Structure 1
């Protein structure tokens, strides 16, 4: 990345993060991004814990009353103990040797052995023959260039770098990247809508932990304390679970994130949890979720989900885990708002009649790395009874945000801060959380609708049906077919015109004696 000639409005850390990622990406050569991300993120984590350790080590060494080599001195400050063979200064000194891979593996093993919370978390395959050791040495030097001053700055800067790299690798992996990463603008919208100031936060399919990071940022930005929230998560993919554990450790977030290879449906690690906030982006439309083995599950209070699609299993799993006044924000495929097959329409009807659906938001397309299909947000509430806010029982707020978002790459959009404020602002005004901002319907964007009207529409929850915009789910296929017909007609006309021009050119060339 070229260095700018003069200062711009771009934030300095964004330039640092982008430059680091661009350089690291060049180093990977032919290595697949899905493999390379573990190499890079593991080293960033090792740099983080080593920097934090060495900063505190320097402080302790200057104090005659302290023992800089006593692990308890670090535990008391919530700093990981880093054995001598794992400290970054020693690793960087051997970065150009053929044994660097084994050196890093030994360092990771030593760190895990000294810190119970990291057991089974760190990558330990840097010594494999297929990993280019020259590239590895250059990568170590690159990560060493991240300069920090003390543990607090380390946590902030390296946390941002880790987060930026997660997004960069998700983009490089495309569809597979969506398995561990939800775009920050989508997470940011969920967090701004739910406002998880304090209480228990849960994500049953937590990926790399982005929901938790954004929740922590929100709490701190609004003057709260990280200790005001308790975080619980579960992840089925072991490598993704490891990313989440490292992500939480870099941020200094205490989180009970568990892994098993059966997943939240079949082995619920937080079976008795009742959460105040649930934020989740479950995989869309999973067909092989093992629903045939869970037909009589206690969670299916509103109807047994179809065996061929887990969308309504996820929704009911989260309702089951909500506290009496809990709220959930869930990302799902648009089909969940209108599907009728395999009993999904009846489940949705039962959920609406139970007054669990608080707000529905239709999102613009191209927000996700894993799919170009537009998605929606379900906001669920165990209770809509007034609690210092307006009474919205028997009502659902519909927001059609499909026209929002800004292209940031050739195939991907992001919701801007203004977009997020606009959507969340309407929701908070409707709920009565913004006393100076009275709610009003906005044609084409949002409308509060009584349950009787939702029933008249067959319990379809597509916002376009209610706010005046075209129905996304019902019309997308028809609109595509019409557009395809139009484009085909235009292409045919262009081909005819090209043929005529070709004839005219040939005739002109023949008129001057050129044989064609």
Structure 2
């Protein structure tokens, strides 16, 4: 029988640079100077792909790579060449199990059934781990695998997993002997629990997931950490494989917005102590399952979308959870704490129903914008501050971010458990924010007045002669500027929401048409790799961005560079000895210029950037006009900020007025 061909393994120029332990420019020089450099086997002119085997042979023959460089980088393209997520995941699971103890792959929740090529690749990784370290090798492969399939695999960030364990530890007074995650995914929550309670008597970690490969990866991770664990493959809601009523702690980040979760199949399930979950409320099925899994005195901490706290369809079950005392706390997290990053998720803390729920209260915590805690306007989550805010608000009635609400006060027609509805803003914070708002308003008002006085003195001149024009195409041909076109943004590496400080902004046409939407960004590492490989168009200081779509046409000097540009966005980089970038941007953005250069052959009109007109002026005059345009840009920016500050100040005063906290008279 003919054996299947081994999958071809290809690498980009950036990957060759990492393998060789050199910079991207060095690889480009090798390719240009050495006729023996391997020829591309695929890709495109801007992002060619090369055979890994040919590249490695050439590097060894020419002695171009460092002896210890790129061992893991050489391994990853071979794993990636397997193609699909599950094949890569099975190899990863085999590596983790074998590194924990030889022969333990048979203890994984599924038979891996590796092909000869896959088995050889796993053995290669195990041998490499003897040099690089077991944890380092497995961790590298795991992060690359998760990054490659970031859209398909939702993971709980490590800081959030640790916070959930903190909450469970605070609420659970009894010793923790068993921890269960009924939707364990790749095992992040169980791993955090195992590390936390390892010194107080190693707990038994139980998990299950409906996706076999994810369960196998989770089992391999826990095996490699030497934890007492058992992971199973099961559809938790349809056919739970774990015995109910045995968990001291349940940690769960369940899938959300699922419609086919078995609503009709489990209609009479005994787990529904609080009522059968509606078809549109799968999260409340997970909530009830988690409560049913708890042992007496146990605690469940769950990550849930904020809509679960308020949707009309779930009010009956929320009411039952409140009446029985099963719901103990709801914690609102800032956006960016976990995927989806543009939404502020909630943590629910639950226990078994109380024997005497009379007088029960629910602790509601709103961590957004409290005493230095992360807010929706911040760029990155300050996890130590967030942890302190949440734990203090749970433990103390004096903490301003939390409030204890009697159950009877929550049992209205809506049964809305959103913390922001009940946690009042701190008076001190409102006072400080209001003073800061007025300071910003006065500053912007002063800037607007200064700029308007300068710009109002500009008057049109009478036509004193004809100014000849040229086009962007002619300037490009003369070498006065360089024109680059934006490229498709890599979906697997693209993030949404508030970016961290070292992130690089990504810009596409929808971001300009709907500026109120979430921001898009890429990590610095992905941006650098993409720019080196020629797959990303990234701006630099003094570059001009031109929008090629007629409906959003504009041009500006990118003062926020670097920015990664998507399709229909163009980068213009000028020769500063010939052109002033501010003058050029001011000329290009003229609406009449765009109409003349527009193409209207289809419903999606575009602007041919190369046809845009530019007056022929000496450099000194360009700079004078460029300074005017710079002031116009500053005027637009200040006026826009003035409107935003005025709006936020007005809303803050309105909130104080509505709560009777403004002085009368």
Structure 2 match to 1:266: 238
Structure 2 match to 1:420: 387
Secondary structure (helix, strand or coil) at the match of 1:368 reads coil
CA distance in 2 between partners of 1:422 and 1:126 (Å): 52
Structure 2 match to 1:166: 142
Contact 1:324 1:383 in 2 (8 A): no
CA distance in 2 between partners of 1:142 and 1:288 (Å): 43
Structure 1 match to 2:348: 378
Higher relative CO (Cα under 8 Å, sequence separation at least 6) belongs to 1
Structure 2 match to 1:72: none
Q: Give the CA deviation at 1:259.
A: 2.1
1:364 aligns with 2:320: no
Structure 1 match to 2:414: 458
CA distance in 2 between partners of 1:318 and 1:422 (Å): 26
Structure 2 match to 1:398: 364
Structure 1 match to 2:209: 235
Q: Give the CA deviation at 1:290.
A: 1.3
User: Residues 31 and 499 (structure 1 numbering): CA distance in 2 closer, same or farther, change over 3 Å?
Assistant: farther
User: Residues 40 and 278 (structure 1 numbering): CA distance in 2 closer, same or farther, change over 3 Å?
Assistant: closer
Larger proportion of helix: 1
CA distance in 2 between partners of 1:462 and 1:406 (Å): 16
Q: Give the CA deviation at 1:401.
A: 2.7
Q: Give the CA deviation at 1:143.
A: 2.8
Equivalent residues in 2 for 1:98-113, closer than 5 Å: none
User: Residues 125 and 492 (structure 1 numbering): CA distance in 2 closer, same or farther, change over 3 Å?
Assistant: closer
Secondary structure (helix, strand or coil) at the match of 1:382 reads coil
Equivalent residues in 2 for 1:249-260, closer than 5 Å: 249-260=223-234
Contact 2:330 2:365 in 1 (8 A): yes
1:216 aligns with 2:194: yes
Contact 2:109 2:233 in 1 (8 A): no
CA distance in 2 between partners of 1:499 and 1:121 (Å): 65
Structure 1 match to 2:156: 182
CA distance in 1 between partners of 2:374 and 2:201 (Å): 31
User: Residues 509 and 483 (structure 1 numbering): CA distance in 2 closer, same or farther, change over 3 Å?
Assistant: closer
Question: TM-score, normalization: structure 2?
Answer: 0.50
CA distance in 1 between partners of 2:126 and 2:177 (Å): 40
1:337 aligns with 2:315: no
Contact 1:355 1:393 in 2 (8 A): no
User: Residues 33 and 422 (structure 1 numbering): CA distance in 2 closer, same or farther, change over 3 Å?
Assistant: farther
Q: 1:313-340 CA deviation, whole Å, 9 max, x = no partner?
A: 1111111222232211011111101101
Q: Give the CA deviation at 1:297.
A: 1.9
Structure 2 match to 1:47: 99
Q: 1:225-283 CA deviation, whole Å, 9 max, x = no partner?
A: 21xx23332222111221222222222222233223xx122222223433221111110
1:203 aligns with 2:181: yes
Q: Give the CA deviation at 1:381.
A: 2.2
CA distance in 1 between partners of 2:180 and 2:261 (Å): 20
CA distance in 2 between partners of 1:237 and 1:29 (Å): 20
CA distance in 1 between partners of 2:593 and 2:425 (Å): 45
CA distance in 2 between partners of 1:450 and 1:348 (Å): 14
User: Residues 265 and 450 (structure 1 numbering): CA distance in 2 closer, same or farther, change over 3 Å?
Assistant: same
Contact 1:190 1:329 in 2 (8 A): yes
CA distance in 1 between partners of 2:200 and 2:137 (Å): 24
Structure 1 match to 2:283: 311
Structure 1 match to 2:56: none
Contact 2:92 2:142 in 1 (8 A): no
CA distance in 1 between partners of 2:420 and 2:375 (Å): 21
Structure 1 match to 2:117: 127
Q: Give the CA deviation at 1:377.
A: 0.9
Secondary structure (helix, strand or coil) at the match of 1:286 reads coil
- Paired residue total: 379
CA distance in 2 between partners of 1:414 and 1:38 (Å): 33
Structure 1 match to 2:317: 347
Where does structure 2 lack aligned partners over 5 or more consecutive residues? 1-17, 23-69, 427-496, 498-512, 520-550, 557-585, 595-611, 619-665
Question: TM-score, normalization: structure 1?
Answer: 0.62
CA distance in 2 between partners of 1:238 and 1:160 (Å): 24
CA distance in 2 between partners of 1:211 and 1:507 (Å): 59
Q: Which structure has the larger Rg over C-alpha atoms?
A: 2
Aligned Cα RMSD in Å?
Answer: 4.2
User: Residues 46 and 123 (structure 1 numbering): CA distance in 2 closer, same or farther, change over 3 Å?
Assistant: farther
1:277 aligns with 2:329: no
Contact 1:360 1:379 in 2 (8 A): yes
Contact 1:441 1:448 in 2 (8 A): no
Contact 1:233 1:256 in 2 (8 A): yes
Secondary structure (helix, strand or coil) at the match of 1:311 reads helix
1:244 aligns with 2:218: yes
CA distance in 2 between partners of 1:453 and 1:160 (Å): 52
Q: Give the CA deviation at 1:385.
A: 9.0
Contact 1:368 1:412 in 2 (8 A): no
CA distance in 2 between partners of 1:217 and 1:205 (Å): 19
